[in-house]
Amino acid sequence: MLYEAPFTVPVAAAAGLVEYASSAPFPFQNSPLPPEALLANGETDYLTLINEAAGILGQIKSLPLTPLFYAPVLSKRYNCNVFLKREDLQQVFSFKIRGAFNCMSHLDPTVTKGVVTASAGNHAQGVAYSSSQLHIKSTIFMPVNTPEIKVSSVERLGGEWVTVKLEGDDFDAAKKAAEAYAKQENLTFVPPFDNDYVIAGQGTIALEIIQQIKQAKQNGIISQDHADAIFAPIGGGGLISGITAYTKLTQSPTKPYGAGGLASRSMYESLKAGQVVEVPTVDLFPDGTAVKRVGDLTFAICKKYLTLADIYNDITTDDLCATIQDIFDETRSIAEPSGALGLAALKQHLLKSPPRPDQVFVAVISGANMDFEMLRFVSERAELGAKREAFLSVKFDDPLKFPEIIKLVQTRPGNKPRNITELVFRRNDPGAGHAVFSFNVDLAGVAQTQSAQEDQTKEVIEQLKASGFVGQSLNTNLLALDHVRYMVGGRAGVDDERLVSFTFPERPGSLQAFLGELEKVNVTLPSNGLLSLSLFHYRFHGGDLVHVLVGIQVPAASEPEFLKLLNGLKALGYIGVIVTSEQVYTDFLAKTQ
């Protein structure tokens, strides 16, 4: 099994990391819709609900119309008109306020005893802010290890109208506590996406976009009065189903598209199966869309109006990092990873189907609640994700030739300069040497950055080959990108070394607990063999997962104990994947044969 995307984990391993990944939505049935919100056949009249929601939200002075921002840099790059719907500028920095506010506005504050939800993310902030505006008491459950900044943010937004209860070690436990409390106190549960009023609230985004595009036409910014397509993230489906319902029910020429992370395929797989299914993996880099089971109501809308071709589900972590940089370059604002999904999908769409200059496309920037610690990781990977940077290794038999290699990689054919952005070398013993380096891709006169990255990577490898050196592309080698680039020179004379990549939840004390389990490694075993720790690398990315690379010396006689150790660690939630066969390990870390 090869090293996998670092933020893609089995749902069992991710249980409790984010509010949607660990278990299905609450099976609460709130009050039925009034007759005026139903069609003659008994189905929900979403067009009526969305128009009503727009009126409700429009009356709230503290919820101003979010701008539709014309993106000149992206428009020039893709030779069309690109707009960004700035939901990151909401009071809670996320579109979630729309659905939460609309849902809670239909409650009678003189009758309702209060509401309950379980969240420490955008939904919690939406409920808290709505409570303060509508004067409805809310109780929000979060795990006990929720960062103080998230707790204080919810308390600040809700003021005297919100109570935060810290219950359980993870979101599963917090959800169970919230469910029990709601039943005990006979309170209304406000779901994050699977509710008709929540869907209608999110659908007001489409209504506003359609009106704002018409205004852009009147202002002479564009030549047509409609958008060709709207791209929005897909998590539980509230946002995409609201947008889809409005565009389809108004017979708008604007086509909706959904976007998900590489391993967050819950809506895609459900549409493929023809029914709601739970997916085995979630992508936690865009944690706002890390949903293992979409809503029943949201699925019904998507099933009715969307096809599999309308969902982009192959967006990588590096794609998102590059898109976050694109948004920053345009707006000087930093979107959260899930907030950048819509634009990442739009970029893929425009590369696949080159547009006409007069066409208009909109990406919903759904949120900006980015953890500050994550910025380092994003900045490191943005250029590579945008295909504006290439990453390679070079192998040579005489370390004294390293200066020759430096001169070689700095110059393109035709004596054009090549801008090196990273270069790491360590002499190996005996004789052979390895180095890794990255360089800026020359985009002058280039239409497709992806092909330029591939072409110029091959160009360097051919240059190296002509001079007797062996080059290898590492552009998509995640083991190299996540660990080895920071560990070049770590080769040691260790026999029988096995390399294992571990992924587990990032919680207070989790790394220390893992290290405590590894203390069992350096001991003599009943077989008289020995397992010994030979390598350890950890790098904090500011996310919900710990990524650790561990080397263990395993003599042949100790193989059963080694496998027993891995199984024992797995049972404790520390899932390890043996990656000793990776070529990049052989080149840079393994003992020279």
Same domain for 500 and 420?
Answer: yes
Angle 8-10-14 from CA coordinates, rounded to 5°: 85
Q: Tell me if residue 116 falls in helix, strand or coil.
A: strand
Give the chain's domain count.
3
pLDDT at 285: 82
Token look-up 């070079």 returns 394
Residue 107 domain flag:
no
Q: Measured on CA atoms in the order 92, 93, 95, 96, is the torsion positive or negative? A: negative
Pairing outcome for strands 545-553 and 497-505: antiparallel
CATH for 70: 3.40.50.1100
Same domain for 550 and 466?
Answer: yes
Residue 198 domain flag:
no
Q: Which residues contact residue 234 at a Cβ distance below 8 angstroms, ignoring those fewer than 6 apart?
A: 240, 258, 259, 260, 264, 266, 267, 289, 294, 311, 341
Within 219-340, where are the H helices? Answer: 238-249, 266-273, 296-305, 317-331
Pairing outcome for strands 229-233 and 255-261: parallel
Q: Model-level pTM?
A: 0.81
Same domain for 335 and 454?
Answer: no
What's phi and psi for 381, nearest 5 deg? Answer: -105, -5
Single out the residue in 186, 212, 245 at which a domain terminates.
186
Q: Which residues contact residue 28 at a Cβ distance below 8 angstroms, ignoring those fewer than 6 apart?
A: 182, 189, 191
Residue 558 domain flag:
yes
Active site residue 96: yes
Pairing outcome for strands 255-261 and 311-315: parallel
Please give the structure tokens belonging to residue 16: 């409790």
Burial class (CB in 10 A: 0-12, 13-18, 19+), 273: exposed
Q: Quick check: 49 and 195 in contact, CB under 8 A?
A: no
Same domain for 378 and 393?
Answer: no
Same domain for 271 and 305?
Answer: yes
Q: Quick check: 177 and 218 in contact, CB under 8 A?
A: no
Same domain for 151 and 270?
Answer: no
Beta bridge partners of 425: 435
Single out the residue in 383, 418, 433 at which a domain terminates.
383
Please give the structure tokens belonging to residue 159: 């003021």
pLDDT at 75: 97
Residue 28 domain flag:
no
Angle 511-513-519 from CA coordinates, rounded to 5°: 105
Same domain for 50 and 62?
Answer: yes
Query: What is the CA 89 to chain-centroid distance, rounded?
Result: 19
pLDDT at 3: 44
Q: How many CB atoms within 10 Å of residue 554?
A: 23
Within 431-493, where are the H helices? Answer: 449-466, 478-482
Residue 121 domain flag:
yes
Within 419-536, where are the H helices? Answer: 449-466, 478-482, 510-518
Catalytic residue among 85, 96, 150, 387: 96
Residue 83 domain flag:
yes
Active site residue 366: yes
Closest to 423 in 3D by CA, of 377, 465, 460, 450: 460
370 residue type, one letter: M
pLDDT at 7: 54
pLDDT at 31: 63
pLDDT (tens, 9 = 90+) of the chain, 593 residues, equals 344 445 555 555 555 555 565 555 555 545 678 888 889 898 999 999 999 999 999 887 777 789 999 999 999 999 999 999 999 999 899 999 999 999 999 988 777 789 999 887 889 999 999 999 999 999 999 888 777 778 899 999 999 999 999 988 777 788 889 989 998 998 998 988 999 999 999 999 999 999 999 999 999 999 999 999 999 999 999 999 999 999 999 999 999 999 988 777 899 999 999 999 988 877 778 888 888 889 999 999 999 999 999 999 889 888 999 999 999 999 999 999 999 999 999 999 999 999 999 999 999 999 998 878 788 888 888 877 888 889 898 887 776 677 777 778 878 888 788 877 777 765 555 556 677 888 888 887 665 666 888 899 999 999 999 988 889 999 888 888 877 777 655 666 677 888 899 888 777 667 667 877 776 665 554 545 567 777 777 755 556 677 788 888 888 888 888 888 898 888 888 889 999 988 888 887 777 76
pLDDT at 571: 86
Sheet containing strand 470-473, strands side by side? 420-427, 433-440, 389-396, 470-473
Q: Measured on CA atoms in the order 183, 185, 186, 191, is the torsion positive or negative? A: negative
Same domain for 391 and 448?
Answer: yes
Same domain for 536 and 431?
Answer: yes
Catalytic residue among 153, 366, 534, 558: 366
pLDDT at 529: 56
Q: Quick check: 491 and 542 in contact, CB under 8 A?
A: no
CATH for 462: 3.40.1020.10
CA distance to 82, 427, 434, 485, per residue, from 398 (Å)? 51, 9, 10, 21
Q: Quick check: 177 and 168 in contact, CB under 8 A?
A: yes
Same domain for 221 and 345?
Answer: yes
Angle 311-225-71 from CA coordinates, rounded to 5°: 65
Q: Give the structural domain span for 534.
A: 386-589
Beta bridge partners of 411: 417
Residue 20 domain flag:
no
Single out the residue in 383, 412, 429 at which a domain terminates.
383
Pairing outcome for strands 523-524 and 545-553: unpaired
Same domain for 231 and 313?
Answer: yes
Residue 533 domain flag:
yes
Same domain for 405 and 503?
Answer: yes
